[in-house]
Structure 1
Amino acid sequence: MTDRIHSIDSVRIIAMAFVVMIHTDPFRGLGMYGNMVNFTIDSTARFAVPFFFMTSGYLFARKTADRDPAAYLVERTATIVSLYAFGLALTVPVFLAGTVVLDGAENGDPVGSGVRQLVEFLSPLELLYYGDSVSVVLWFLPALVFSLLLVHTFAQAGKTAYLVPISLAFHVVGLLGTSYTMFVDVPFEVRDALFFGFFYTGLGYYVGARDWRPKTDRSRVYLGATGLFGALHVGERYVLGYVVTGETLSQTVYAASYTIGTALFAISLFAFLLSRPGLGRGTPLPSWGKYAVGIYVTHPAVLHLLERTAEVLNGMGYEVTTTLLWHLTLTPATFFGALLVYLSVREVGALRDGKTPFSRPRSDRNRDPN
């Protein structure tokens, strides 16, 4: 299993870089060619979140093959909740400060703006289930917790044979509610555990529980399928965003998240990684993979700070957000700035191995973090 973890870890940090690019929107608004590049990057990057869900489901299955699944679920949930709490603790002050300084200055009521923003942050359903009350970026963590819980429920009931078809049925509803709204109006939020994360996590679990090991001599087939389905995914999004709507790339960038092609793209990539055990060994990529989750939870605050700074500069007459330099530097500044923040927090002992001190056993807290 260690070899297969190497290949997954090698892609994990790359996938996280794509997640950051989804949020930084490089080259968007810089004319038709800028929008074209942004559309291609954004479409390609959509494999990343499904990949993380599948990886979590796969590891859940493999790591509970010879241990109590419930105990592992509790341990994993504690880690994810701890990371979510850390992300909120980092993001809330930054977002509140931005609201008070900029929005408050516009309406002359900075205190009122801050209080209203804080009330929105505490909305129970959005905070605890959808994960988007503070930053929509953090939705993945609550979705992962509930997705793992759903998968565990099927496993405990001995109904894993129904796991993929049932989760797929929910995912189809999710797709109809996001990318295929021209067919049906889904009147509720579908970017959550039930309609999105459940399918990919369940699929990863199903593969892991059966210890499927694609043959190495077929890795080129899986790689070719990845390229083919990746191109299909980009083409499908183009049809949905421009052919169906009549819009053009010079006008806008299609922003809907996931499609049928996304699943085929992500699944074929995952199969390729499993067929190439040890991929990335001898490179820095596997060791960088362990920082992916840290970059994820810290980059919303870093990105918000950079964007608010740009807004201030724009207000002073320096239109930095319309320059090529801004679009070239925002993604690396966000990525490495988030990494720096995460490493700094780890260095002072506030976070270790993805957990805050309060989520670790008491005996563990007394150990030297070095």
Structure 2
Amino acid sequence: MKTKNDCLNVWKGIAAFAVVLIHCTLPGVPGEIIKGIARFAVPLFFLISGYFAYGREDAVLRRREIHILRLYVGAVVVYYLWAAIRYFLSQRTFAQMGAELFPEGGRTVSDLLFFNRTAMAPHLWFMGALVYCYLFYRLLARKRLEERTYLLIPVLLAANLLLGEGRGLTGIAVPVRWIRSFWLTGFPFFLWGSWFACREKQGRLTLRTGFCLAALSAGVVLSAVECLWSGYDELYVGSILTAGGMFALALAHPAFGKGSALARIGERDSAQIYLWHMLLRNFAALAFMMVRFYETTICQTLMPFLVGAASIVLAEVINVFYNTRRYR
């Protein structure tokens, strides 16, 4: 039975803010560098989910899968309702609204099923991909095949990097949705988290703090260099090292950050921050546009911090309401 890991909660709190920084980018080159470094966040979330999935009973994994699916579907509905209200207030015709809500016509359903993409909430692909991770992992666990699939980790990550960041070298251009998906991002990191748990259970996991810190530091530097060099906005080699280094450090020092605000945010609020920060960003952008403040450098600088703070407040309110209903 895995015990609570305070350090992982700290990393989850940091990763939640990193996601906000990806979608509310600070201005200028420093903003692009920070955005590039922040790409570790989603891989880290998949790693953590895979780690805590290893060795769990099928019923437990199924409950997690259903819980995430409910969050995913509920959030998609809210984002589409918000988009419909916004278009209605702009007095657009029904045809115009339909064309913008479902811009890719018949491909919308296939994108949702295969790549977890929705037009009005593209960032929620992570939630759909996580549902698929649990679904496929449960199938593997039933047949006791999960450990044999660890060989897929370097294969899938190499394919991700070659088709994404390495597209200039390979000459192969593929849609981003092929890469930012369950297939090439979600599942390899989920399996990697499971691999960590497997090695830990077998007593074969050796974690040296210096090595973990070196991997983390190299990942941060590489991410900054790669984002400036390639101009590519997805997974970097640096992202893999950063996420892996952070995760390994958490396993080596599980009590780090115990009782801290970041640990609380990571444990309680990170999921809700991920779900709703884009909605809050849209609200803030609309408000700033109305007062002609949105295009200013000050606004772009303040936006990540305002959205981050508002996301924490909203997450706390949702969690209080949820717990009140749960134990009523």
> TM class, shorter-chain normalised?
0.7 to 0.9
Q: CA deviation at 1:181?
A: 1.1
Q: Report the AA paired with residue 48 of structure 1.
A: A
Q: Which residue number in structure 2 is paired with residue 203 of structure 1?
A: 192
> Normalization by structure 1: what TM-score?
0.78
Q: CA deviation at 1:308?
A: 2.8
Q: CA deviation at 1:163?
A: 1.8
Which of 41, 65, 82 is matched with 1:48 structurally?
41
Q: 1:308 aligned to 2:286?
A: yes
Which of 299, 308, 317 is matched with 1:326 structurally?
299
Identity of aligned residues (%): 20
Q: Report the AA paired with residue 198 of structure 1.
A: F
Q: CA deviation at 1:274?
A: 0.9
Contact 2:36–2:233 (Cα < 8 Å) also in 1? no
Distance 2:317 2:227 in 1: 39
Q: Which residue number in structure 1 is paired with residue 66 of structure 2?
A: 78
Per the alignment, in what secondary structure is the counterpart of residue 277 of structure 1? coil
Q: Which residue number in structure 2 is paired with residue 279 of structure 1?
A: 256
- Provide the aligned C-alpha RMSD in A: 2.5
Q: Which residue number in structure 2 is paired with residue 299 of structure 1?
A: 277
Which of 104, 109, 117 is matched with 1:132 structurally?
117
Distance 1:225 1:345 in 2: 36
Q: Which residue number in structure 2 is paired with residue 38 of structure 1?
A: 31
Q: CA deviation at 1:194?
A: 1.1
Q: 1:121 to 1:340 in 2, by over 3 A?
A: farther
Contact 1:91–1:300 (Cα < 8 Å) also in 2? no
Distance 2:296 2:97 in 1: 31
Distance 1:321 1:138 in 2: 25
Q: Which residue number in structure 1 is paired with residue 229 of structure 2?
A: 239
Distance 1:153 1:286 in 2: 32
Q: 1:299 to 1:128 in 2, by over 3 A?
A: farther
Q: Which residue number in structure 2 is paired with residue 155 of structure 1?
A: 141
Q: 1:300 to 1:228 in 2, by over 3 A?
A: same
Q: Which residue number in structure 1 is paired with residue 166 of structure 2?
A: 180
Q: Which has the larger radius of gyration?
A: 1
Distance 1:338 1:281 in 2: 22
Distance 1:202 1:120 in 2: 34
Q: 1:113 aligned to 2:86?
A: no
Q: Report the AA paired with residue 92 of structure 1.
A: Y
Contact 1:229–1:261 (Cα < 8 Å) also in 2? yes
Q: Report the AA paired with residue 301 of structure 1.
A: L
Relative to structure 2, which stretch is displaced further, 320-329 or 262-271? 320-329
Q: Which residue number in structure 2 is paired with residue 190 of structure 1?
A: 179
Q: CA deviation at 1:111?
A: 3.1
Q: Report the AA paired with residue 39 of structure 2.
A: R
Q: CA deviation at 1:346?
A: 4.0
Contact 1:94–1:305 (Cα < 8 Å) also in 2? no
Distance 2:72 2:323 in 1: 14
Q: 1:168 to 1:98 in 2, by over 3 A?
A: farther
In structure 2, list runs of 5 or more residues that go unmatched. Answer: none
What CA deviation, in whole Å up to 9, does each residue of 1:293-349 have, x standing for no partner?
011111121111222333344xxxx3x2332321232112212222333333444x4
Per the alignment, in what secondary structure is the counterpart of residue 258 of structure 2? coil
Q: CA deviation at 1:193?
A: 0.6
Q: 1:172 to 1:101 in 2, by over 3 A?
A: farther
In structure 1, list runs of 5 or more residues that go unmatched. Answer: 28-34, 242-254, 358-364
Distance 1:341 1:57 in 2: 27
Q: 1:340 aligned to 2:313?
A: yes
Distance 2:285 2:162 in 1: 32
What CA deviation, in whole Å up to 9, does each residue of 1:26-79 have, x standing for no partner?
11xxxxxxx2211221111011110000000001115x1xxx2x2112101111
Contact 2:32–2:227 (Cα < 8 Å) also in 1? no
Q: Report the AA paired with residue 146 of structure 2.
A: T
What CA deviation, in whole Å up to 9, does each residue of 1:151-192 have, x standing for no partner?
333333333343222243233222223211111425452211
Q: Which residue number in structure 2 is paired with residue 99 of structure 1?
A: 87
What CA deviation, in whole Å up to 9, does each residue of 1:252-302 have, x standing for no partner?
xxx421122221221122111111120101322222212000111111211
Per the alignment, in what secondary structure is the counterpart of residue 211 of structure 1? helix
Contact 1:6–1:280 (Cα < 8 Å) also in 2? yes
Contact 1:144–1:193 (Cα < 8 Å) also in 2? yes
Q: Report the AA paired with residue 231 of structure 1.
A: V
